[in-house]
Structure 1
Amino acid sequence: MSEFLAGAEAETGSPDAIELRLAARLEHLPIIRSVAANLAIRADFDLDSIADLKLAVDEACSTLITRAAKDALLSCRFLLHPNEIRFSAAVLSPSDEEPSRDSFGWRVLTTLTDSAESWVDGASADGRGCWVHIELSKRKIASG
């Protein structure tokens, strides 16, 4: 089991952590975008920040889905902090390459978020591939 999933299980009891596990298919993107938008609305993010988070989550998940092994699950986790939402996603991939930081998609992620990271874990226990991760954060704009 990846550290991502182990960490998510450790936080299951927290009301500030929400996890989704879906088949790694592009048709599931609207579900994940809707959750991101709903959480940002409830956290009182401004409209531009809500749109930015939705687009960034969509890009991160799209990137991972296109790398997914056949019949893989996409694991997504939202961590809610008073002024920030952190989003992590991981998928089992037959490739051990992390997403390119020179791609247009990566530029979208770094433009729309306050931070974005990606990495690859070693081979999975069943030998089907490696876990590819993307984590991003979006902070609430200070009102004043």
Structure 2
Amino acid sequence: MTEETAAPTTGATDVRDAVTVTMPADSAYLSVLRTATAGLAARLDFTLDEIEDLRIGVDEACAMLLSQALPGTDLNTEFELTGDGMRVSVSVLTDDGRLPARDTFAWTVLSALAGEVDAGAGPDDRVTIILHKRRNTTESA
């Protein structure tokens, strides 16, 4: 398992951090990814409920992808931390590049947990699920 951390880049109004975690495409390693997700979300001051939703969402995205991963390949997860939230891209090599069905209960749950969800496939049959969770910025009175 490798982990790379990119140095923060500062723009005019935004700071961006990026972290990439690469590990075997095996469900035995998902606990490490759930912990990394929670730690990064806490760094962005997500609420405990938002952190848990994101952890479960990343876990669900991985489960969807691991079911079609080629044996012996890696699961790549890229976390992009921005001022208003976190974008998580999970990808794996597959044999046919088939996208997850969007009309399933699993996709509905994933969308409810993570906010914005999308999926895509590359020319090498790498399938990616992208989650974009924004912090709840409304204050309760």
Shorter-chain TM-score bucket reads 0.7 to 0.9
Aligned partner of 1:140 in structure 2 is 135
Contact 2:6 2:17 in 1 (8 A): no
**Letter matched to residue 138 of structure 1:** K
**Structure with more contact order per residue of length (Cα contacts < 8 Å, sep ≥ 6):** 1
Task: Describe the SS at the equivalent of 2:36.
Answer: helix
Percent identity at matched positions?
Answer: 34
Mapping of residues 98-113 of structure 1, within 5 Å: 98-113=99-114
More helix, by proportion? 1
How many pairs does the alignment contain? 129
Unpaired runs of 5+ residues, structure 1, are 1-8, 125-129
CA drift of 1:82 comes to 1.4
Superposition deviation, residue 66 in structure 1: 1.0
How far does residue 143 in structure 1 lie from its aligned partner after superposition?
4.6
Structure 2's unaligned 5+ residue stretches are 9-15
Runs of 4+ displaced beyond 4 Å: none
When normalised by structure 1's length, the TM-score is 0.84
Alpha-carbon displacement from aligned partner over 1:52-111 (angstroms, at most 9, x marks no partner) = 100000001111111100101000000001121100011000122100111221111111
3-state SS, counterpart of residue 89 of structure 1: strand
Structure 2 counterpart of 1:99, one-letter code: P
**Aligned-pair Cα RMSD in Å:** 1.6
- How much does 1:17 deviate? 0.3
